[in-house]
Amino acid sequence: MSGYLIDEKISNRLFIICWVANTAAMIGRNSYSSALVSIVNDGVFTKTDAGLIGSLFFILYGGGQFLSGYLGDRISPFKLILAGLVVAAITNLAMSISHNYTIMLVVWSINGLAQSVIWSPVLYIVSSVLTKTHRQKACLYISTSFCAGALLSYLISVIVLRYCKWNAIFAVSAYIVCLSSILWIMISIAVSKKIVRYKQDENVFINVQENTKKDFNKMLASTGIVFIMVPVMMKCMLDIGVTTWVPTMIAETYTVTPLFSTFLAMFLPMTNLFGTYIAANLNERFIKDEVKTSSLLYSLCLPPLCLLLLIGKINIYVCVAMLAVITTFVTGVTLMLFVLIPTRFAKYGKTSSVAGLLNGVATVGIVISNYGYGYVSQKFGWNATILFWIFIAVVAIVFCMLAFQKWRAFIAEKI
């Protein structure tokens, strides 16, 4: 069987640059949603057109995830991450100087492809390359990079919109991603030279690989992943959809400025960090099952979702608080489904493949939410959108329950 020899010091450095890289990637990914309110208000294009750009981004992102997951288990994750960061920086810079809808559509789609080759290799490094003593905590902490990236994206937009127009958000994001690329080159090259990969007896290695292939081919049925794919998709429809459209929803419902609505939306990722720790503690101390924990977290989303049906009638700060509660619990679902579940397959050497598979499936939900919510809110209003969010949470709970038995049997396996 193959593995890695790496000391504690190098392991720490490697985790830090992975965290920075994924945070920077999130900034380069969220720059569009951060600028979305101002873009629509400036009349550059309609909400439906804006949703189409977001949808094409995630179509390329999702398609790339399948390839990224496959490659991440087979070629250097360091090269994949660097390539993704460099292209993400270039595309953000291009968005900052473009005002043509067609060009922006193409450029942002390319960014989706670039973003797709970052997360799966990052998770591969965290679950398979770091020292065993670091891996469990690293899986928890790496998920905070999503919240940090979202928070910094909103912070950048609040500061930039105070003094500049929306295109400056892309310029600042490009600068940050470019700096992270340079940091990745400086540190990862030095670190990768100190990582020693070893392989035991060739016959044993071949046998393990054959068994792994067999197990992976049967994975969809035997582990309940077929059912789990639905809560994964629903998570993105709920989380990405809410995060993307919250500033617009608040601005339209409560007649506040885009800057103020973005500032309020920035509150969400600040609270979402708690979702990671809530979910981790629930799972580690009590439930010890990622699918059951996800089911519980989805259930906890239902009361605040129902209260949101009073949007416009309840105080704006109560509305934001309910959105914060929802996205906090959904952030916990992110840890379960997108981080911990793929790392369960490290024993088969398939962490990156499973991460790519789940992220690819999740993209379907993101595409529907980005385009669909803009259309539904424009045609039927925000109450209809919120009812759809409630339906999404219920569907996710049902499919989590369908996966309970098979997933429990899988995590009990030892090889």
* Domain parsing of the chain, residue ranges: 7-194+224-411
Q: What is the mean pLDDT of residues 93-117?
A: 92
Averaged pLDDT for residues 98-107: 90
Average pLDDT over residues 145-164: 87
Distance of alpha carbon 252 from alpha carbon 247, whole angstroms = 9
Contact at 8 Å (CB) between 233 and 361? Answer: yes
pLDDT of residue 262: 66
**1: pLDDT confidence band, cut at 50, 70 and 90?**
very low
pLDDT, average across residues 254-264? 73
Assess contact for 169 and 95: CB atoms under 8 A: no
Mean pLDDT of 278-286: 94
- Candidate from 105-114, 172-181, 200-209, 375-384 with smallest mean pLDDT: 200-209
Of residues 176, 163, 157, the one with CA closest to residue 36: 157
Task: Report the distance separating Cα 187 and Cα 152, nearest Å.
Answer: 23
Architecture of domain 7-194+224-411: Up-down Bundle (1.20)
Distance CA 25, CA 5 (A): 28
Q: How far apart are CA 6 and CA 132, in angstroms?
A: 10
Ranking 113-122, 244-253, 402-411 by mean pLDDT, the lowest is 244-253
pLDDT in tens, 302-358: 999 999 999 889 988 898 889 889 999 999 999 999 999 999 888 777 888 888 889
- For residues 364-385, give the mean pLDDT: 80
The reported pLDDT for the residue numbered 199 is 52
Residue 57 has pLDDT above 60, yes or no: yes
- What is the model's pLDDT at position 2? 52
Q: Looking at the chain, how many residues does it have?
A: 415
Asked if 9 contacts 230 with a C-beta cutoff of 8 angstroms, the reply is: no
Q: Which residue has the higher pLDDT, 204 or 415?
A: 415
Over range 48-56, report the average pLDDT. 78
Give the pLDDT band (50/70/90) at residue 209. Answer: very low
**What pLDDT does residue 395 have?**
97
Rounded Cα–Cα distance for residues 149 and 385 (Å): 26
Please state, in angstroms and rounded to a whole number, the distance separating the CA atoms of residues 214 and 222.
11
Q: How far apart are CA 411 and CA 25, in angstroms?
A: 31
Mean of all residue pLDDT scores within the chain:
85
Q: What is the pLDDT of residues 393-406, one digit of tens each?
A: 999 999 999 999 99
Residue 121 to residue 129: CA distance in whole angstroms:
11
Distance CA 399, CA 171 (A): 41
User: 277, exposed or middle or buried, with CB in 10 Å at 0-12, 13-18, 19+?
Assistant: middle
Supply φ then ψ for residue 5, to 5 degrees. -110, 120
Element (H, E) at 165: none
pLDDT at residue 210 above 60?
Answer: no
Least confidently predicted of 160-164, 173-177, 242-246: 242-246
